[in-house]
Structure formats: C-alpha cells, structure tokens
C-alpha cells in the first residue's frame, strides 16, 4: 500500500477500539443523549435545493425537513423507496458513549425520507445493555430486530435462533440483499462466522470493519529527546536497544538532575497494545496477547496452521533473551502488576520518566508526545532476519453479528432490503462518518469531508458521531475504503504514518479470527484451556523475572502442559479455525 494513499487516512482510524457506551430513548445515562446536542445542519458547496429536500420529505413521510448537503443529496438519490406507505419497525441498539439517541440522528432522518421506512430505536447504555437484552429475550418482549454488531452475540443466536426467536436469513439475503451477497463473495469467512453451530442456520448479517490501525495496535516508541541528551542513535536491533535502555537507566537521560527517576521501559503484562508481546517477533513469532488468562492468548495462524507459541523453541529463546532486560533492571518491575491507570500516569508524567513503551500512538504520552518517536520493529541482531510484527484480526474486523430480525417482524422482506443498504460502500461510509460534512462524492465513490471544527469548536469526530451510528451500524468497511474512499485533507495522525512506514510490509504473526465453539469445545476451553493459559503465564513471569531457570524447567513445563491436554487444546482451535474459514 502506497504512502500517498495511507496519508489520506484520518483521525477516524484512531477510533478503532470499540468504545462501550450508552444512549437512551428519552433517558439514557449519557449526557450526550439530547436533541440539543445534535449539530445543526450546515450548507456545503454542493447542497441540494430546499425544494428537493422538501420533495424527499413528502415522499418518505418523514417528520422533519431533511438537511441539505452533498451527503443528504446522495442518500436521497441512491436509497430506494422500499414501501408505498410509511412502514415502521422497532429496533434495539447499543450505542457508543459519545453519541446522541439514534432517533435524533440526521442520517436516519434522511434514510427514512428516501426509503419510507421509519425506525423507532430503543437504545440502552453499556451499563445496562446485557441485562436489558436478557430480559427482553427471556420474557418474549423483544423488538422487530437488533441493530449493530454488539447487540447480540453468536451465543445468543445459537440459543434463541433454534427456539424461533430469530428468523433464518439465508432466503432473505438471497432474494433481497445484493449488497450483502457481494460482501459474502468477497469475504467468505463471514459466512462461517454467522452460521449457527446449533442448527446450521444463519440468523444474522455479519460485520466487516477492517482498519490498518486496528491490525497493528502496538507500536514501539522511544524518547528521542533522551537519545539526543545522551548522544545516542535510534536503535535498530535488540542488542542496540539493550544498550540504549541501559544508558537511560544509569544516566540522567531526562536532564532533571536526578539519575534515578528514569524508567527505561514500562508496560502492561499481558496486553494487546501496551504489552511486550511484539518483542518476541525478533526471535521468531510475535506473541499474541489479548488479556491475562484469555483462551485466545498465544495462538497465531501461519499458512492455515494454528500454532501455540508457548511450546516452541522460538518462544523459549525469546524469554531467555528478554529475561536479560528484566533481570538487569531495564524493564519496569511494576509492569507485571500495574494497571492501566498506573501505566498511563507514568507515560504522561509532567517531567518525562519513561524512555520507551509499546503504545497506541504518541498521544499516549500526553503533553510530552513530541519527545517520542516510533521506531521500526527491532531485529535480534544486525544480521538477523526482519522481526515479525503482531497483526491482530480477532477483535471486530470480522464478526458474524451485525443485524438480526425476530419473529415479531411483520415485514422482514422490507427490513432485509433496508439493512442491505448499509453494505453499499458509500452508505457504509455515510453511516460511519455521517452525511453532514460531506463536500463531494465523485464518480468512483470517493467521499471528501470537511473536517474543520464546528462553530462551537466541536471536533470533526464529535460532529460526525452525533449525526450517524458510526461503529454501531452493520457495515462492510474495508481497508481499501479507509485508505482510498474517505478523504479528509487536514486531519492527520501519526499512527497512520507509523504503520505505513514500519508495519504494512513487515512479516507478521497473525492472530486467530473471531470464532465460534461448540458447547463441548467451550467447556474444554473453560476447564483445560484456561488452566493451560494460567500455567503458561505464571511460568512466563517467573522466567522473565529470573525466579526460575527456563532451561532447567522446560521438560517439566512441557510435561505439565501435556497433562493439561495442550494438544487437544490446539486441535480445538484448529478445528474452529477451519470451520470459520470454511475449510
């Protein structure tokens, strides 16, 4: 992927982590859930005429005039009329913390005017969503459908689908959903992810939400000011990195007169962004961390084969090499036990005290972010092979959930056509970033946004998340769309450049995708899988800290993993992976 294309990516890519949040249908927990917080519609260079807007409103039967602008004009011209009479559906949504009530969003008002489909959303905040969902499903008091990847899990669909609560969607997709059929053709993994293990039926449309910044979440940063203070170069190998951290530890790198307040390197122990897993890539495979004890930890996929890293010689070598850093005091000893708040406090200290860390971007260092630079993945030695980087795909890039219809729906064929609109490329972009700030949509579907702050100083992110469902919508947002179809000329973020320069073309250790497990498999993972992970992570810390010798322990360690049925564990992951990709 070329640099000139990636430079077009914007701060929207930075918002790749799914933020749990809330909206209320007239009474949610979020302070944003008021109509007053919705941005006023602004006129753009290619705004539609008032007559056109009124004509669309009359056709669709909408309750309010539709705002003007290129984005609204596109929706009016391209979203088809799905019913001669206004038809209404009730949908449940789990909404992001920064957003207003979906019922007040301009995007849905414009979509209603064009399609003649009215949606009455009932939104719940994160704090109560699961409880509310479970009450609805268990008491038979549920709506026509569930909108968004995070409203239902595959476990929900496996349980309630065969019971008849959710309707199978294969026929609806085949008859009414050309956009989604195209998505399935391009991403066949999605078919396996959305197929119920309980009865082989599909009860949901899936979600694709690729993003280069989400693929490579952990980037290594170093304090360039400290390097300059000590007359050091940016390290390129683990050997050089060791010497740099040693200098940070022994000299007054931050120049405040105290040679003992520097932390050469800090981290969170088992963490996908702020951990130390990517250092393993210098010695073989980059480690796949999620969270402590997760049954997905330590698994990667290479040429279709699932690999459990903790039983490999490369993993053992990495621990021995990284143990030198820990035992020589170059890693923050508190890193093995500290929480996120403690970690962040160190990174953002008024006087910089951290020399290096894996983190999301330079903004993680607060006001001192300009002192830190990202560096290339570190090879073991100058003549070693390039280090592998951690490439993540098991979060929200591909999910089997996105939209489901219940047996309460009287017109599923109309609702199926309505949701299919979200899988059109331009409509996906519009649902993600809204129609309000669109300047132009060209013949190739490239959408250009005006990302300047609002009249009240509101940031582009805030404005667009108030007018459209953002990550909450069913969608197919691909890497190509992020890079080539969404243009914002002035917003830049350093993570885009870092990924472009250091990660996109690097060899990668790829994590497992989102997968389903049978009841028996899930039970095994809860018992033996969890026990194996806890044992591995306990040994990992002991060895890094030098409390035990990995060479002396290795055979006993492997024997204990055999007792914990590690090969069956690997076989289950391979079976689930093959099932997911349709092998």
Residue 90, domain member (yes or no): yes
Instruction: Based on the fold, state whether residues 64 and 159 are members of the same structural domain.
Output: yes
CA angle 278, 13, 393 (to 5 degrees): 45
Instruction: Based on the fold, state whether residues 527 and 572 are members of the same structural domain.
Output: yes
CA 377/CA 245 separation, integer angstroms:
16
End-to-end Cα separation, the chain, in angstroms:
29
CB 205, CB 180: distance < 8 Å = yes
CA angle 320, 326, 329 (to 5 degrees): 145
Number of Cβ atoms within 10 Å of the Cβ of 383: 7
Instruction: Based on the fold, state whether residues 471 and 570 are members of the same structural domain.
Output: no
Could you tell me which residues come within 8 angstroms of residue 538 by beta carbon, excluding any fewer than 6 positions away?
Answer: none
Instruction: Based on the fold, state whether residues 361 and 406 are members of the same structural domain.
Output: no
Instruction: Based on the fold, state whether residues 79 and 209 are members of the same structural domain.
Output: yes
CB 524, CB 566: distance < 8 Å = no
Q: Which letter, b or e, does each residue of 229-247 get, where b requires 16 or more Cβ atoms within 10 Å of its Cβ?
A: beebeebebbbbbbebbeb
CB 459, CB 10: distance < 8 Å = no
The confidence score (pLDDT) of residue 570 equals 98
Least Cα distance to 296 among 305, 287, 304 occurs for 287
Least Cα distance to 245 among 214, 269, 280, 220 occurs for 220
The helix (run of H) or strand (run of E) holding residue 51 is helix 50-60
**378: domain CATH number?**
3.40.190.10
Q: What is the Rg, in whole angstroms, of the alpha carbon atoms belonging to the chain?
A: 25
DSSP 106-121: HHHHHHHHHH-EEEEE
Residue 500, domain member (yes or no): no
CB 25, CB 93: distance < 8 Å = no
Least Cα distance to 478 among 505, 445, 510, 451 occurs for 445
Instruction: Based on the fold, state whether residues 204 and 317 are members of the same structural domain.
Output: no
Length of the chain (residues): 583
CA 266/CA 365 separation, integer angstroms:
12
Residue 285, domain member (yes or no): yes
Instruction: Based on the fold, state whether residues 288 and 242 are members of the same structural domain.
Output: yes
Residue 205, domain member (yes or no): yes
The confidence score (pLDDT) of residue 30 equals 29
Domain boundary (460, 494, 528) is at 494
DSSP 537-559: HHHHHHHHHTSS-HHHHHHHHHH
Domain count, the chain: 2
Instruction: Based on the fold, state whether residues 172 and 33 are members of the same structural domain.
Output: yes
Residue 504, domain member (yes or no): no
Instruction: Based on the fold, state whether residues 333 and 379 are members of the same structural domain.
Output: yes
Residue 198, domain member (yes or no): yes
CA 174/CA 124 separation, integer angstroms:
32
Least Cα distance to 436 among 476, 470, 480 occurs for 470
Q: How far is CA 162 from the centre of its chain?
A: 30
Give CA separation, 409 vs 77, 323, 414, in Å: 27, 59, 10
Instruction: Based on the fold, state whether residues 378 and 414 are members of the same structural domain.
Output: no
Alpha helix (H) ranges present in 385-476? 412-420, 425-433, 460-467
Q: Flag residues of the chain having pLDDT under 50.
A: 1-64
CA 17/CA 15 separation, integer angstroms:
6
CB 23, CB 101: distance < 8 Å = yes
CA 67/CA 64 separation, integer angstroms:
9
The confidence score (pLDDT) of residue 32 equals 28
The confidence score (pLDDT) of residue 442 equals 94
Domain boundary (445, 462, 494) is at 494
The helix (run of H) or strand (run of E) holding residue 265 is strand 263-265
Least Cα distance to 125 among 41, 49, 31, 46 occurs for 31
Q: What is the pLDDT of residues 318-344, one digit of tens each?
A: 999 999 999 999 999 999 999 999 999
Residue 337, domain member (yes or no): yes
Residue found under tokens 């005429």: 49
Could you tell me which residues come within 8 angstroms of residue 450 by beta carbon, excluding any fewer than 6 positions away?
Answer: 44, 437, 438, 439
Domain that holds residue 243: 219-391+517-581
CA 429/CA 427 separation, integer angstroms:
5
Pick left, alpha or beta for residue 216 (phi over 0 → left; psi -120 to 50 → alpha; otherwise beta).
Answer: beta
pTM of the model: 0.78
Instruction: Based on the fold, state whether residues 400 and 364 are members of the same structural domain.
Output: no
The confidence score (pLDDT) of residue 535 equals 97
CA 373/CA 544 separation, integer angstroms:
27
Alpha helix (H) ranges present in 61-210? 70-78, 106-115, 126-139, 154-160, 170-176, 178-186, 189-194
Instruction: Based on the fold, state whether residues 310 and 372 are members of the same structural domain.
Output: yes
Residue 23, domain member (yes or no): yes
CA 493/CA 495 separation, integer angstroms:
6
Token pair belonging to 38: 């919705």
The confidence score (pLDDT) of residue 492 equals 65
CA 381/CA 18 separation, integer angstroms:
37
């Amino acid at each position: 992927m070329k640099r000139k294309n990636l430079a077009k990516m914007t701060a929207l890519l930075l918002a790749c982590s799914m933020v749990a949040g809330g909206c209320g249908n007239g009474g949610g927990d979020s302070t944003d859930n008021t109509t007053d917080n919705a941005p006023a519609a602004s006129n753009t260079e290619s705004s539609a005429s008032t007559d056109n807007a009124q004509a669309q409103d009359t056709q669709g039967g909408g309750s309010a005039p539709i705002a003007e602008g290129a984005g609204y004009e596109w929706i009016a011209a391209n979203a088809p009329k799905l019913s001669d009479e206004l038809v209404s559906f009730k949908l449940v949504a789990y909404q992001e913390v920064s957003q207003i009530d979906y019922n007040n969003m301009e995007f849905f008002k414009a979509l209603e005017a064009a399609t003649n489909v009215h949606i009455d959303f009932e939104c719940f905040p994160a704090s109560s969503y699961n409880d509310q969902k479970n009450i609805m499903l268990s008491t038979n008091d549920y709506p026509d459908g569930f909108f968004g990847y995070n409203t239902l899990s595959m476990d929900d669909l496996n349980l309630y689908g065969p019971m008849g609560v959710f309707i199978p969607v294969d026929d609806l997709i085949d008859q009414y959903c050309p956009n989604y059929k195209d998505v399935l053709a391009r991403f066949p993994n999605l078919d396996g992810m959305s197929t119920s293990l309980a009865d082989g039926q599909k009860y949901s449309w899936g979600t694709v939400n690729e993003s280069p910044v989400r693929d490579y979440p952990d980037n290594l940063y170093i304090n360039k000011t400290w390097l300059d203070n000590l007359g050091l170069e940016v390290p390129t190998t683990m050997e050089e990195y060791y010497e740099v951290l040693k200098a940070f530890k022994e000299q007054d790198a931050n120049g405040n007169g105290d040679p003992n307040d520097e932390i050469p390197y800090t981290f969170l122990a088992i963490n996908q962004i702020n951990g130390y897993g990517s250092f393993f890539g210098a010695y073989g495979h980059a480690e796949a961390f999620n969270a402590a004890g997760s049954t997905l930890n330590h698994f990667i996929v290479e040429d279709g084969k699932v690999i459990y890293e903790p039983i490999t010689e490369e993993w053992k070598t990495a621990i021995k090499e990284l143990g030198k850093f820990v035992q020589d005091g170059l890693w923050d000893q508190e890193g093995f036990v500290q929480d996120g708040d403690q970690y962040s406090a160190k990174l953002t200290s008024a006087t910089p005290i951290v020399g290096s860390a894996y983190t999301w971007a330079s903004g993680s260092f607060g006001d001192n972010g300009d002192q830190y630079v990202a560096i290339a993945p570190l090879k073991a030695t100058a003549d070693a092979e390039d280090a592998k980087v951690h490439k993540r795909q098991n979060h929200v890039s591909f999910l089997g959930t996105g939209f489901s219809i219940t047996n309460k729906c009287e017109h599923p064929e109309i609702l199926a056509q309505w949701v299919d609109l979200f899988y059109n490329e331009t409509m996906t972009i519009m649902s993600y970033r809204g129609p309000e700030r669109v300047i132009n949509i060209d013949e190739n579907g490239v959408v250009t946004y005006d990302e300047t702050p609002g009249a009240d100083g509101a940031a582009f992110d805030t404005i667009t998340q108030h007018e459209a469902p953002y990550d909450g919508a069913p969608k197919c947002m691909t890497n190509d769309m992020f890079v080539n179809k969404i243009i914002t000329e002035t917003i830049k973020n350093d993570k885009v450049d870092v990924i472009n320069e250091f990660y996109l073309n690097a060899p990668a250790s790829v994590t497992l995708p989102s997968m389903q497990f049978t009841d028996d498999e899930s039970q095994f993972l809860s018992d033996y899988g969890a026990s194996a992970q806890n044992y591995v992570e306990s040994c990992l810390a002991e060895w890094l800290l030098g409390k035990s010798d990995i060479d002396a322990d290795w055979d006993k360690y492997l024997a204990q993993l055999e007792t914990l049925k590690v090969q069956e564990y690997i076989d289950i992951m391979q079976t689930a992976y093959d099932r997911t990709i349709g092998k």
